[in-house]
Structure 1
Amino acid sequence: MRRFAIPVMVGGTALCTIAATVLAQQAAVPVARYEMRAETMSGLGGMAGGGGMGAAMSMAFGGTPKAQHMLWLDLGSSRAAADGKPKAEHFMPAGAKLGKSVLLRTPQAAKRDPGEADFQRPKGRMLIFWGCGEHAPKGQPVVIDFSKLAAGQVPAGLFTTAVPMDRWVSPSSSKTYGYWPGEDGKSAKPDSSLIGAHRVAGNYSPDMAFTLAKDFMAPLNASNALQPSGSTLLRWGAVADATGYYAMMIGGKQSGQGGEMSDVVWWSSSASRQFGGGLADWLAPATVAKLVNDKTVLSPQTTTCTVPAEVKAAAPDFMFGTLHAYGPEESFAYPPRPADPKVKWVPEWTARIRHRSTTGFLVGMEGFGASAAAGAQQPAPACKPKKKGLGGLLGGAVAGALGVPGAGGDGC
């Protein structure tokens, strides 16, 4: 008999309703966990996400790169393939335009979690700003000396504890691990759709079947413009299904000696000092709802944020911005959770997909960053999935000194 998944829909109110049951009920660790991360990347993010030469030409002629659809798949299992040759594939609906299936590759090298990398310790300082407003309030910026970090002197409260890092499937958490994109030369396209029936089958995990109702999110259409006060007005169009927005900028000031940076400047749209953690990750809707409530994340109704004048003044040489629209989640499990909390839940497998839309822009280039409608574009190159942690946006050297989780991971 073919086994079908029962959707486990978890939202803000639903979470409160079932919280008592979840806490009281014992649950076994599933044999297999499957995770999908879907992202729409626009602006400079579209270029980094696979726009390639087409995106570069668009920029050269005053345009902006077209939006790209990016998809990362991770399968982790407590089983090993009987013949020692692990194989798994994900059968997609026709609208995905990825053929009959995509192969989940099991890495042969020594285990290394997605996003890990080696780093060179940077010199100089980091200046941290936060919050939307024309001017930075008293007490900003917080100055971090990289030399002290390298010596192990980490300032108290440097990293946020309000936004926990999610425990994604990884090689180190699995007996057998498979990922995609791999080496099959396939990648999601700007017009790929995820809606429809999906099936994951392999020789080291139970068969999974589920149907997705949510598609890739719409691209973020953002622009930024310098104001007479020296502040920067960031604007964007509302995105359907967005649960909240989070913006951050990274910039620098050169020392004049060999082009090295004397100061690295970082700003986030959070109303309080929140740095690192899971803010640059795919966040669950329930987590985002809490972060909106405490003003760490901007509400789904917010479409503007003014970056304080002191931020750009501290980073006169360059400044790059990123805006995230966190999106919906769909979760599935087999067998479904028993209604009776006294009955232990022993799932064979769980699967989930999270969405977000991201755009990148250069600060000070008025209008740049507005995304074009998704259309024909060169596909993104196949790559090993890496967690899109804060490190990928700060740069490996800076993130390495700060010990940022996911440092160096940029999706490829």
Structure 2
Amino acid sequence: MRKFSGQLAVSGFVLVGFGVAVGAQQASAPIARYEMRAETVSGIGGMGAGGGMGAAMAMAFGGTPKAQHMLWLDLGSSRSASDGKPKAEHFMPAGAKLGKSVLLRTPEPGKTAPPEPGEKDFQRPKGRMLIFWGCGERAPKGQPVVIDFSKLAAGQVPPGLFTSSVPLDRMVSPSASKTYGYWPGADGKSAKPDSVLVGAHRVAGNYSPEMAFSLAKDFMGPLNASNTQQASGSTLLRWGAVPDATGYYAMIIGGKQSGKGGEMADMVWWSSSASRQFGGGLADWMAPATVARLVTDKTVLSPQTTTCTVPAEVKAAAPDFIYGTLHAYGPEESFAYPPRPADPKIRWVPEWTARIRHRSTTGFLVGMEGFGAGPATSGEQAKAECKPKKKKGFGGLLGGAMAGALGVPNGSDDGC
């Protein structure tokens, strides 16, 4: 490390909750912001997170794919590269098993970074959407709320569909940066199931100050979940507690086919929130303080909760396809240089800030053996009863956003 980096490493400062107003102290925006998002993905979601052929074979033999680790890096700076050729690298501890470093790629002029799930354009939704929420054997009076897409203008998002009390976090992005770099990129590298993040990290480039910090938190443990159909028609979701979890949130999306080319006549969306709270920051990596507030108002299930019953009406309304996602929100570590002055009268001028947030996610098919489901039909029975469906997905920009929020691909050839 250069002398500058060594001084940072020795200082060992940690800033908790950067970005939240602190008293009357004034603070300027940092030259550079760095963000890491670390996720452990299990169940069906693990198949799309680097599971590859091994995950597919596990599914074929009635097993569950091995949990995968996923890591996203984003660097935003108010500076331009000195030579007009942006370059930045993240040097990680050997335990990360990503080589000496990973290269943060800057999008070429006129191009943007790969879109997040749900940001692609899809055909406009048809039919209706039925919205349920809350844990319990039966849906309470007033549910479902029904949205008829035929009564909406083209491209219109139904008013009040997505939560306004849990806004999306202001993350590092190309639009908010003069120069931007991201990873994974085109280097073919990705986090592995046994990658470890704990240890010294350094980020160096030609368009931002050099950063050095040490992480004490590793990837979270996997969510081991099951779902079992009850005599009442409801579905019991059960999962093992994950260390460091700050709260849990479950979502289920399903549908009922119209019989016309496999299109969905009804889309069904359920949330474990005690109130009507969907989307927004709930599908994000939320800060522990935010999660604590949402646990208090019962939007998020407490870290001590390990079960939730999905009302019978949800499965009844979505007989043809029903997929769920369970999030365990996790810890955060934040760093900054120089540290915030203890005297609130002194203006704080940080050169850079960095943070890493964690979560663990699992995906499951409701009522299907394996992949987070309880006892159901045998593998042979499931294969015999499975009827291939055309590749339709959820449809529409709204459907794409919902699919992205759940972590499920927007369209698949069949469920066999």
After TM superposition, the score normalised by the length of structure 2 is 0.87
Q: Secondary structure at the match of 1:29?
A: coil
Structure 1, residues 149-208: CA drift from partner, whole Å, max 9, x if none?
344665442221111101111111111110001011111000000000000000000000
Q: 1:181 to 1:154 in 2, by over 3 A?
A: closer
DSSP 3-state at the match of 1:286: helix
Q: How does 1:121-160 map to 2 (within 5 A)?
A: 121-151=124-154, 154-160=157-163
Equivalent residue for 1:92? 92
Of 359, 362, 385, 1:359 maps to 362
**Is the aligned partner of 1:339 residue 2:342?**
yes
Compute the displacement of 1:7 (Å).
0.7
Q: Which residue of structure 2 aligns with residue 179 of structure 1?
A: 182
Provide the aligned length of Structure 1 versus Structure 2.
Answer: 381
Percent of residue pairs bearing the same amino acid type: 81
Q: Structure 1 residue 6 and structure 2 residue 13: aligned?
A: yes
Pick aligned residue for 1:242 from 240, 245, 256: 245
User: SS of 2:280's equivalent?
Assistant: coil
Q: What is the CA distance between 1:410 and its match in structure 2?
A: 7.3
Distance 1:47 1:155, change over 3 A: closer
Q: Tell me which residue corresponds to 2:412.
A: none
- Within the alignment, does 1:397 sit opposite 2:395 as a pair? yes
What 5-or-longer segments of structure 2 have no aligned partner? 374-391, 410-416
Shift in Å, 1:27: 0.8
8 Å contact 1:165–1:277 — kept in the other structure?
yes
How far residue 23 of structure 1 moved from its aligned partner, in angstroms, is 3.3
3-state SS of 1:271 partner: coil
- Answer yes or no: is 1:56 the counterpart of 2:59: no
- 1:25 alignment partner, SS class: coil
Spell out the pairing of 1:24-103 with structure 2 (5 A cutoff).
24-103=24-103
Equivalents in 2 of 1:81, 1:52: separation in Å?
37
Q: Which has the higher mean CA deviation after the structures are superposed, 47-56 or 209-218?
A: 47-56
Return 5+ residue gaps in structure 1 as ranges: 371-393
Aligned residue identity for 2:152: L
Letter aligned with residue 344 of structure 2: P
C-alpha distance in 2, partners of 1:78/1:246? 36
Instruction: Name the CA shift for 1:230/1:117 in 2 (closer, same or farther; >3 Å).
Output: same
Against the structure 1 CA distance between its residues 222 and 344, is the aligned structure 2 distance closer, same or farther, given a 3 Å change threshold?
same
Q: Residue 357 and residue 62 in structure 1: after superposition, are their counterparts in 2 closer, same or farther (change >3 A)?
A: same
For residues 5-45 of structure 1, the C-alpha deviation after alignment (integer angstroms, 9 at most, x for no partner) is: 621134xxxx9xx98x7031111011000000000000001
1:146, 1:401 within 8 Å by CA — same for their partners in 2?
no
Matched letter for residue 275 of structure 1: F
Flag the 1:154–1:197 CA change in 2: closer, same or farther, 3 A. Answer: closer
**Shift of residue 147, structure 1, vs aligned partner:** 2.7
Amino acid at match of 1:100: K
Question: Partners in 2 of 1:405 and 1:286 — Cα distance?
Answer: 27
Aligned CA distance change for structure 1 residues 144 and 39 (closer, same or farther; 3 Å): same
Give runs of aligned pairs for residues 238-387 of structure 1, distance below 5 A. Answer: 238-369=241-372
- CA RMSD across the alignment: 2.3
Shift of the alpha carbon at 1:272? Answer: 0.2
Q: Deviations over 1:362-385 (max 9, x none)?
A: 001245327xxxxxxxxxxxxxxx
CA separation of 1:111 and 1:31: change in aligned 2, threshold 3 A: farther
Letter in 1 for 2:334: S
CA distance in 2, matches of 1:108, 1:219: 36
Contact 1:253 1:317 in 2 (8 A): yes
